[in-house]
Amino acid sequence: MQSSILGRTAARQCINATTRRQISSSSRRWQAEATETAGATVVDAGSVRPKKPIGGFRGGVFGFLLGFSVASAYASYRLLEEYKIASALLQASVEELQASTDKISTHIRRIETVEKNVKALSEASATKEESKKAKAELKKLYDGLHVEFLDLRSHVWGMQQDLHALVKKEATSLRPS
């Protein structure tokens, strides 16, 4: 207890020796000087401040600012999460659009290839008029062959008749009558 009293006395002497400005700006230096002077442990009275009661207005402002900060942080977190979700959905939509665009491009290329083939076939194939002409020529040729066949048949029939007549004539001339 006595060392504590000596420490206080030394601290008072030290305070009187130094200016008030030095104490407020360099409390550690003052503490070191007081310890050297007294040779005992000194409790810094300047560093312990009594707690002031928080008034209703100051507490309300502090509460408002704290609540606003927490609400802002939560809102920005939720906004960032929604942005990530929307961004992911947009990316998926873009990828789906790219895939459908690729499919459509493939189908268009196939259609163009088929159109080229159809055009080549239409140029190489006969038209209705050409097919009608070919059909008419084929009919004339068939009719001509049919006429020749009938002529040949009538000629063969005539030869058969002549041959039968000859055979009958000879058969009658060879028989004794």
Is residue 7 over pLDDT 90?
no
pLDDT band, very low/low/confident/very high, at 60 (cuts 50, 70, 90): confident
How many angstroms separate the CA atoms of 129 and 88, rounded? 63
Q: What are the tokens at 22?
A: 């030095």
The H or E element spanning position 4 is helix 2-17
Q: What percent of the chain has pLDDT over 70?
A: 67
Q: Is 127 helix (H, G, I), strand (E, B) or coil?
A: coil
What pLDDT is stored for residue 170 in this prediction?
80
What pLDDT is stored for residue 124 in this prediction?
83
Listing DSSP states for 12-38 in one string gives: HHHHHHS-HHHHHH-HHHHHHHHHHHH
pLDDT digits (tens, 9 = 90+) for 9-21: 655 565 555 444 4
Residue type, 148: E
b/e for 118-138, b at 16 or more Cβ within 10 A? eeeeeeeeeeeeeeeeeeeee
* Dihedral class, residue 94 (left if φ above 0, else alpha if ψ from -120 to 50, else beta): alpha
Residue 123 Cα distances to 119, 126, 131, 177, angstroms: 6, 8, 14, 81
| Of 52-56, 88-92, 103-107, the least confident | 52-56
pLDDT digits (tens, 9 = 90+) for 155-168: 999 999 988 988 88
Is residue 71 over pLDDT 90?
yes
For the chain, the structural domain boundaries read: 1-50, 57-125, 134-174
